Structure 1
């Protein structure tokens, strides 16, 4: 018997086994709207995504302030995102050589680009962030279907107006903003920067 020609062809997109010290990079994808149950099969859906690496999941959302919109949650915990999110699936992207500390530094750098006040549902959303993050971590992009709606919307301009605004700021990011606000407010015992010494 001769081997099949197909078996001689190199296989694409098979994840290579990790080298010692490498950490897996996983994309966690969430449904954001009930219509996904009807439209996702056709390749169009409204999805949120986060990148899981070193036991944390990192995602991006919008707010009105000129600082990072990147936030951290427990991997695959849709409750930390809010009631409109439903975990759909995890996609293995690859492996990274970055240590946990290096990942946190990278997140901080990406936060300068992915500020809360720069969030845009179609042009600079959570899936754009996860794409940039995965490329930086392991030089592999997220699957195209995750952010297909953003590309389709360029042909259907009214689509953005149809999406609820509360998706901009997931619950975990709201908590992060509240903590940031508390840490930025001077306490009564601490002199403010404008108080003469």
Structure 2
């Protein structure tokens, strides 16, 4: 997945790969991944750049752009091809700016609107395909069991909380009763 791939579609349009890059938020993922859980960050790579979503305190976009497979603060795990899009680079730039207006940093929520929700939304809009379920399984489990989650995770947004400690709290809460940690 190192270089962006483009090719001509049957109708003559140029297509480019849409790739999901997945990162570990914690070294514990090396162990919990095999039990079907993990704390992951993901981004979408299109036209040679990667796009992700993160939290901040302001009513402005939380969407950011980085070099592929090099998101700061995370440990790169893998890349997963999701499909192709026929959007040109300029069309994609307009598209990502429109989508970014729907993902303000102050609306980020670990359970209901996180980076993996953003990646899933982008993937579906670009390719018609959802991302693999394991990437955001912990958030889906948290949504189903929200009444059991610690108070700090039931707030509507994340504000200046170190995601590492917050994610660890969720992981420990879910896996500890099963003796997995």
- How far off is 1:26 after superposition? 0.3
Q: Give the Å deviation of 1:18.
A: 6.6
Q: Secondary structure at the match of 2:163?
A: helix
Which structure has the larger Rg? 1
Pick one of 64, 67, 70 that aligns with 1:74: 67
| TM-score normalized by the length of structure 2 | 0.75
Give 1:148's match in structure 2, choosing from 137, 154, 171.
137
Root-mean-square deviation (CA), in Å? 2.2
On the 8 A contact 1:153/1:159 being kept in 2, the answer is: no
| Counterpart position of 1:11 | none
Residue matched to 1:30? 23
Q: How does 1:104-183 map to 2 (within 5 A)?
A: 104-154=93-143, 155=145, 157-158=148-149, 161=152, 165-167=161-163
Q: Which runs of 5+ in 1 are unaligned?
A: 1-16, 169-197
**What SS does the aligned partner of 2:59 have?**
coil
**After superposition, what is the alpha-carbon deviation per residue over 1:112-143, rounded to whole angstroms, capped at 9, x for unaligned?**
21111100011000000001111111111111
Offset from partner CA, 1:128-184 (integer Å, 9 cap, x none): 00011111111111111100010111215426848992339xxxxxxxxxxxxxxxx
Question: Which is richer in strand?
Answer: 2
Question: SS of the residue aligned with 2:30?
Answer: helix
- 1:68–1:116 Cα contact (<8 Å) kept: yes
How far apart in 1 are the matches of 2:79 and 2:66? 15
Q: Determine the C-alpha separation between the residues in 1 that align with 2:50 and 2:103.
A: 16
Q: Distance in 2 between matches of 1:106 and 1:125?
A: 20
Tell me how far apart the structure 2 counterparts of residues 143 and 131 of structure 1 sit (CA, whole Å).
Answer: 9
Q: Residue 101 of structure 2 aligns to a residue in which SS?
A: helix
Give the distance between the partners of 1:48 and 1:33, measured in 2 at CA. 10
Paired residues of 1:153 and 1:160 also in contact (CA < 8 A): no
In 1, Cα distance between equivalents of 2:87 and 2:108 = 26
Q: List aligned pairs for 1:75-114, cutoff 5 A.
A: 75-78=68-71, 81-82=72-73, 85-114=74-103
Q: Across the two proteins, how many residue pairs are aligned to each other?
A: 148
Query: Using the alignment, how far apart are the partners of 1:101 and 1:159 within structure 2?
Result: 44
